[in-house]
Chain A
Amino acid sequence: MSYRLGVDVGGTFTDLLLVHESSGQTWTAKVPSTPSDQSVGVLNGLARVCERAGIEPGLIHHVMHGTTVATNTVLTGTGARCGLVTTCGYRQVLQIARSFVPGGLGGWVIYNKSLPMAPLSCTIEAHERIGAKGEVVTPLDEAALREQLRSLRSRQIEALTVSLVNAFANDVHERRIKAIAHEELPGIPVSLSSEVVPEMQEYERTVTTVANSYVRPRVQRYVHNLQGALAAKSPQVKLHILRSDGGLASSSSAEEYPVNLLMSGPAGGVTGALWVALQAGFRNLLTVDVGGTSTDVALIMNGEPRLRRETTVGDVTVRASSVDIRTVGAGGGSIAHVPELTKALRVGPQSAGADPGPAAYGRGGTEPTVTDANVVLGYLPEMQRLGGDMALRRELAQQAVQKIGTALGKSTEDAARGIYDIVNENMVGALRLVSVEQGHDPRDYALIAFGGAGPLHANALSRLLGSWPSIIPPGPGVLCALGDATTAVRDESARTFIRKFPETTPKEVLRVLRELADDAARALERDKVPRREMRVGYQADVRYHGQGLQLTIAVDLTDLEKRGLAAITEPFDAEHQRLFTFALPLEHEFVNLRAFVQGRGISIKRAPLARGGTSPRAAAVGRQKVHMDGRRHTATVYERAKLRAGNRIAGPAIVIEMDSTTVILPGHHGVVDVHANILIYPDGYRPKPVRRGTKPKARR
């Protein structure tokens, strides 16, 4: 009789989803977020959802939580004061970074570099040297190090990072420095580069480890407090935090390696979207999460979100696996403007944010935003109450958008349409990055849109990309909580393993992969996941010797045993050919080997939506004048909660619910399925007879 709880903390609302573990029955709740201390909102919601389910909080054994605490710490620059220990000669590794100046030719003129997360004044050098093959070239001068560490005391550092050159090949000095640091700087948490990311490339390893130190105290405090508060309600409870790669971390691992949580929030959205889409029968997906200031997009192939080996937050890029989410500065609050010199219409990346927000919110905003364009076009009807209680003021939106019309010499409606089209184009740009640029044809994918504003743009985006259907799940907030609740515990273990193929043997590769799997499994065992429930997978990062690009290839151990290294070179060449149109007659080379282990997820049953007839008439609540595709139309407005499975909504139509609004364009229709999703298709759409792009690829 145990329950698990998924929790998503958003900017406005905290959404919760309670699941009865054996039956899969669910309950949801939505409460206001409490930004000053997010755990307050979480506990309020917990009480609410337990009340709904009629259970005691003590029956909740697992809480799964996607959090933005780590991200916000980086974005607001409010992390710990970090000390850093480098190898002699490398004190400025963060100051120099990769010497990169963004912005194209002449970009340096306007580039102002932000300060490193570990200040130079708190960076010291250790006299030691490890060689490229892991050999000790110069032993560590411990006496000198102690003196230097003592000097950091007066700097009042709150966390310490150790990142030495070639430590990925031999961590002996890093470990020794950690021991000495514990003596000289008691109570200061120490992160080692060889533990956080034992991979080649000194800058990336250092910045990642420093980022870990930087967010660690805040994340630690948050997780610790939340765990404590939850334990007070339910002594048995175990808190899990969603990681950037879509796996779950135990609270202790989250506290130790918080750099893995930078994408925790958005990853919850992607996993939730996947769950919803799988229910509806779609395995190849583009996900679009449209928020107030930005849009996050990702690609899911064959039921697996694409991962990448780095995470970017603001102007910090770290080496930590994350769901390959691309963010574009285009959201409901993005401001439209017309530069004087070019007279071109630009939308974003500046945003009106939550305060004052779009003009239509009537909170003093006067800049024309995407939301205002949506109001002018009639897509956000005045009867819509955003978040349940906020009225929209059409006349203020009109005034704001008119400024763009005047600058372009167009009517207000045409200006609004321009804003809508341009922002869609910007979102398509991000979607192309995850699809076309990675060699995927968007026409092989369905598109699933969430976030408050996603369903306003979904139909238009699907049309631009040819991605059908547009899936509009019910309740965009619950989606993330659903993602949190349905995620399985996961851990991975990786090692840099640079060998040309002729220099190694299948036997050696097998041995290392098995060791790594064992490491990862032990970590999961500490989280009380029994070995028999674990699923293990293996990967190798491989490249042509001398090439910079590495591709991640799934490794099947039996195949490797049977066929030798051809089990890796063949899929590598095929993938290279697919991505870049050629393969090369060159030696292959291993870069990293990796094993990951995953616990079992949970199955959830949600009550099916009651069946209705084809006609959605019973859900119609009004009519609305709209501009769509350059013409005036009258759209029917439907209330989402009144729709029934089997209803077919003909465009032009608007569907409203408390926290989102769906637009269905002329020439399109939406079908309501038993899971309460709306699936939008062009009229007369015929799905391809054979689904392409689903060739089995054992990733994860």
Chain B
Amino acid sequence: MPAKIVQRNKKPLKRVKVDSVTIDIIESALRSARYEMDTVLFRTAMSPGIREQHDEFPMIANVDGKMVVGQFGSFIWGFMQGYDGTVEEGDIFFTSDPYSVNGAVSHANDWLMLMPVYKDGRVIAWSAMFGHMTDIGGKVPGSLPTDARQIYEEGIVVPLVKIFRRGELQQDVLRIILHNCRLPMWNLSDFNAIVAALRTAHNRCVEISTRFGDNVFYSAMDEMLARNKRAMRELIRRTVPEKKQYFEDYVCDDGMGMGPYKIACTMWREGDICIFDFAGTDPQSIGSINFLLNEEMFKMFAGVYMIMVFDPQILFNDGFYDLMDVRIPAGTLLKPMKPAALSCRTHALGRIFDVLGGLLGQGNPSFMCAAGFSDSPHFMYSGYRANGEWFQLYQIGFGGIPGKPFGDGPDGHSLWPSFTNVPNEFLESYFPLRIETYETIPDTGGPGRFRGGNALRIGYRFLEPGEISIHDDRWLTYPWGVNGGLPGARSRKLLVRTDGSEEPLPSKCDRIKVNAGDLLHFDTWGGGGCGDPLAREPERVAFDVDAGLVTVAGAQRYGVVVQGDGKVDQAATERLRAKMAQERGAVALFDRGFESIEELKGRCQADTSLEAPRQPQFTKWARVAAAARPAL
């Protein structure tokens, strides 16, 4: 039963002709409204994940639920089809169940809220937003258990509920939810902040519609979608070849000793339609690294990536979704079946961007970026202070941005929009720890004509006993380089105990006990290099050496010989470059840093001091489902 939308005003919105300048104006007003949602949220949210690191996504959709401004896949149409109830003025809907919104949010930590925008008794638009909660209960602090096998172990999962009924908060429902979280005040504050952001968008839409008239507002939104579709059709035609392009990449392990997991995708064009087929992707994990990938969300990722590479001026929205056909076989890592655990989906989510880059780049190598910091590694530290007070830290790590045809990748930065790090002085005054090192690691960025960004090293000195959790990846496979660029360095974690003994920690782990005085080196990974490192201007290499971002030995990977005084030895450089060019031969499009998974696993222990992961085991039914359509 589709949702019943209650409207006092039965007059349907009418399509009218709108002057193109008016459309531009409405477009810019809506864009301002969308940024205003961010501003309101950041200023009032309490969990550092939203407040400092900006792990949140807003959108404004048209009356049919198509996203007009924003950056996540609109699920509203699906919601309207599947919600068995009424939609009324003042209602706000709330869910954190990925399975009931087809992955519009992909783990239960993301709280998604949705509000119809009413004006004069009828719906004229929708506003929606989701944000990552630091904790939603479950078996570990932070609610991202590495060893979960079902979503029920990952904290409270809220089905689609009407949390505001005609403007009135359903207190009891909220109390039940908050009661299940370890830091309920943070959740409450973040919840309020999202509501405030939705209301802001609501008010802006009403204002714009009042100014121009409802029919003009409605028609302009339609035209914005159509405009985007025209632009994307042109882009797809120009950039996506009809010949099939294939690319695969990996999630290194599942935190339970198995891996790597393959994500495979084939892309081609038929007429105006760009097809992405994920056949060949591994079956779903029995653990929590599954990523329920919403097809619309993926279209948006693909569209955004194309826009950024080829024409950043285009405003993206849902308008072009008809031009993409995304096929994800059920039972795979990217379309797991309920009740598969989902909490640690961040690695597969990030890797999708590397896959996209690999696919789109093959048709246009000169526009190709390397693989980069395609993840948001998590670090958690919790316990009780001497006075019995509970503390719980959740942090996102940063790393090397890929080298790209337009320039070097920044060092220790974020691949995600508007994410920022948390000031260390803030951490030190609120949590029992000291950040002794906060720097990027020389030579970890992949050499290239454009260098990949360096990985980040954080040295956490713990001042109270407690437990830590780590969620990271790319410790086994490398962030690859392109067009001659070399791969970036892999991640690593090392715990140094007070007695000086060193324990390499796995990339994904929970409940590691730490004592006061222990030191954790949390090293993320670098970005891959882009273009031939032997073609990088030697002076720029010397500049990086002088800055301490590349070592003298590291400069040799560019074929550059740097003297004791920091200057380039031109003659020696020319000789070295000639020799390296000859030994290397022609440059390959991709440099993955390994020959085969077997070869990689073979040297795993020696390279990383960690045991190589075993071949993943899948449930029989997932294997059968995933294989229903064979790889292309």
State the A residues within 8 Å of B (CB). 88-93, 95-96, 98-101, 103-113, 119-121, 129, 131-133, 137, 165-166, 168, 200-204, 339, 341-346, 408, 417-418, 421-422, 425-426, 429, 432, 436-437, 498, 544, 546-549, 576, 579-582, 584, 586
Contacts and interface: CB of A to CB of B under 8 A. Distances in A.
B20 A99 contact: no
A345 B19 CA distance: 11
Chain A binding surface, main DSSP class: loop
B231 interface: yes
Nearest to A102: B418
Contact of A580 (B21, B40, B548): B40
A436 B201 CA distance: 12
B44 A580 contact: yes
Contacts, number: 228
B313 A408 contact: no
Given A91-B548, A426-B28, A584-B189, A549 B44 contact: yes
Interface string B191-230: 0110010010000000000000000000000000001101
Given A105-B304, A131-B428, A96 B548 contact: no
Interface stretch (B119-127, B274-282, B419-427, B581-589): B419-427
Q: Could you say which interface size class chain B belongs to? A: 35 or more
Contact of A112 (B42, B199, B408, B439): B408
B196 A580 contact: yes
21 contacts: A88-B436, A91-B439, A95-B547, A96-B412, A99-B398, A101-B413, A104-B71, A105-B416, A106-B309, A109-B309, A110-B312, A113-B410, A120-B549, A121-B547, A129-B434, A132-B428, A345-B21, A418-B21, A547-B189, A548-B51, A582-B192
B44 A109 contact: no
B24 A344 contact: yes
Interface centre among A106, A131, A343 (most CB of B within 10 A): A106
Contact of A89 (B300, B415, B459): B459
A425 B25 contact: yes
B412 A99 contact: yes
B437 interface: yes
A658 to B, nearest CB: 32
B43 interface: yes
Contacts of B227: 342-344
A202 B411 CA distance: 18
Interface in B354-371: 369
Contacts of A425: 24-25, 28-29
Contact of B410 (A101, A346, A436, A498): A101
Contacts of A133: 429
B25 A581 contact: no
A339 B27 CA distance: 15
B411 A112 contact: no
B196 A110 contact: no
Given A96-B412, A120-B548, 6 more contacts: A100-B420, A109-B309, A137-B434, A200-B425, A202-B425, A345-B20
Interface stretch (B265-273, B399-407, B489-497, B622-630): B399-407
Contact of A132 (B71, B407, B425): B425
Contacts of B189: 544, 546-547, 584, 586
A109 B43 contact: no
Interface centre among B29, B52, B434 (most CB of A within 10 A): B434
A120 B549 CA distance: 9
B261 to A, nearest CB: 24
Report, nearest first, the 10 A-B pairs whose CB atoms are least far apart.
A120-B547, A106-B308, A132-B428, A548-B51, A89-B437, A112-B407, A341-B231, A549-B43, A98-B420, A418-B21
Nearest to B300: A105
B359 to A, nearest CB: 15
A98 B420 CA distance: 5
Contacts of B29: 425, 429
B51 A421 contact: no
B438 A100 contact: no
Nearest to B28: A425
Contacts of B415: 101, 108
B305 interface: yes
A181 to B, nearest CB: 21
B325 to A, nearest CB: 21
A351 B43 CA distance: 33
A105 B313 contact: no
B251 to A, nearest CB: 21
Contacts of B326: none
Given A426-B28, A546-B186, A548-B52, A108 B409 contact: yes
A204 B425 CA distance: 11
B45 A103 contact: no
